[in-house]
Amino acid sequence: MQDWWRNSVTYQIYPRSFQDSSGNGIGDLPGITARLDHVASLGVDAIWLSPIFTSPMADMGYDVSNYTDIDPLFGTLADFDALVARAHALGLRVIVDQVISHSSDQHPFFVESRSSRDNPRADWYVWVDPLPDGTPPNNWVSVFGGSAWEWDARRRQYYLHNFLTSQPDFNFHNPDVQDWLLSTMRFWLDRGVDGFRLDTVNFYFHDQSLRSNPPDPRNTAAPKVNPYDMQDHLYSKNRPENLAFLERLRALTDEYEGRAMVGEVGESRRAGEIMAQYTAGNSRLHMAYSFDMLGPEFTADHFRQKIEGFYSAAPNGCPCWSFSNHDVIRHVTRWQDHGAPDALAKQAIAMLIGFEGSLCLYQGEELGQTETDILYSELTDPPGFKFWPDYKGRDGCRTPMVWDDSAQAGFTTGTPWLPIKAPQKARNVAGQDAEHATGSVLAAYRTALAFRKEIPALRYGKTRFANLPEPILGFWRDGLLCLYNLSPQPQQLHVTQGAALTGPHAAALSGAKLQLPANGFAFLTGATEVKPG
């Protein structure tokens, strides 16, 4: 199907933590291949592989030193080909993480670029002279803390890095850079990948005038941890020149049948506007991956605003909604004040299947997995070292998958690269997969995803919200009413007489009275009205 990606469900795999086949404690491609049956059993459409290309791993693969090879930690190109073949045999598409806004400082092109001011790739990265007082040219800051400019003694210039100093930004204003990056993506398309997850897709271009960013007007005080969000990033990212490059990316993927791109829009202030721009029409991104539901907010008003906001700006666009990924605290832990873990986990998948657009699940969330408490001595993540103890980094959501209750949870025969602790091990696949575990979170995910595939309204229906007070989120997808109690207290609603429950639910209907328990949810047919009561 040409538009398989529209309203699809993608399962994100963090390769280091999925399955180790070699015993070195780090997940790899053969391990992923061996576990794909589990992914297929969920009823998803595609897998997204976090970075697997050659890298010194300063940022766990988001610092690429070779864009057309597999890092030896994960395997070989032959292992990748075998993974793609097995995934396709199981009906799963394969999306790879494409990190092209920046490279590793060990990439041969950066090594060449920094060697002089007149080499063939001297302007492949963003280099600027210091101000007369020796300081950087503007106030741009790094996502990982400190200035976004790093002094290089060889060139006697600063280079731009929106992330680590070892992740220099490419200069997208140079057409040769664009051409070369597109050629590396063609390499993977020719190899059979079904698409790309474009990391930091709104970071590609910078303002050539190097204007300083203004303050974000929403800020009234210094942030608790990272000052990055004190700026309105008008000039360091989100540039209008990006749209033309997205059209070049789309033209490339359109040369291949059934390929798709989902772009990560890392932006706090105008994410909906940017997502709408980036998915408008048929010449830019297929989907935009939203950060809007990856925060602490857990209210009906919040979810409604984000969904309505996107579709009012891009009626024909396609968002990709997610509650967890490799960069944020797992949602069961993040929202723990709003319910018990299992109830929250089951409600989460019921909510996602109700949302208009495409969905993305993060490995382990189908188990109701919780955040791992990481000690300083166990840290590997650079921002964790930078901002400890107020921010403990991203390791807590990246700990290995738990397949069973054995010593290393079936993940490895060696010592895992991040610890597997008892609270996480308790939520293992084998335990939840057992015949007696029909009430497990894993069973709830399989049931919910199967229901979504069966009901056209959940895949293609337009959304119309019900005007209900907190903590109730309610909307129709065509004729199907979807209701969610976003609280740990029971709630009662009045629905149309004769309405009927359908599909998975945590609710009880008696006549026109619908009882929603703590974190309850319901899908109803024949309900043309709903009100408190």
Q: Which residues are catalytic?
A: 199, 255
Residue 20's DSSP bridge partners are none
User: Looking up tokens 């398989």, which residue turns up?
Assistant: 4
Interatomic CA distance for residues 194 and 286, integer angstroms:
12
Query: Do residues 17 and 363 touch, judged by C-beta distance below 8 A?
Result: yes
CB within 8 Å of 251: residues ≥ 6 apart: 283
Q: Report which residue type is found at 278.
A: Y
Q: Report which residue type is found at 354.
A: G
Residue 315: burial class (beta carbons within 10 Å; 0-12, 13-18, 19+): exposed
Interatomic CA distance for residues 96 and 204, integer angstroms:
18
Q: Report which residue type is found at 298.
A: F
Interatomic CA distance for residues 445 and 42, integer angstroms:
7
Closest CA to 468 of 401, 515, 531, 517: 531
CB within 8 Å of 441: residues ≥ 6 apart: 342, 345, 346, 366, 367, 368, 427, 432
Continuous H helices in 141-210: 175-190
CB within 8 Å of 346: residues ≥ 6 apart: 368, 441, 444, 506, 519, 521
Q: How far is CA 529 from CA 128, 174, 301, 480, 512, in A?
A: 61, 57, 19, 11, 10
Residue 493's DSSP bridge partners are 514, 532
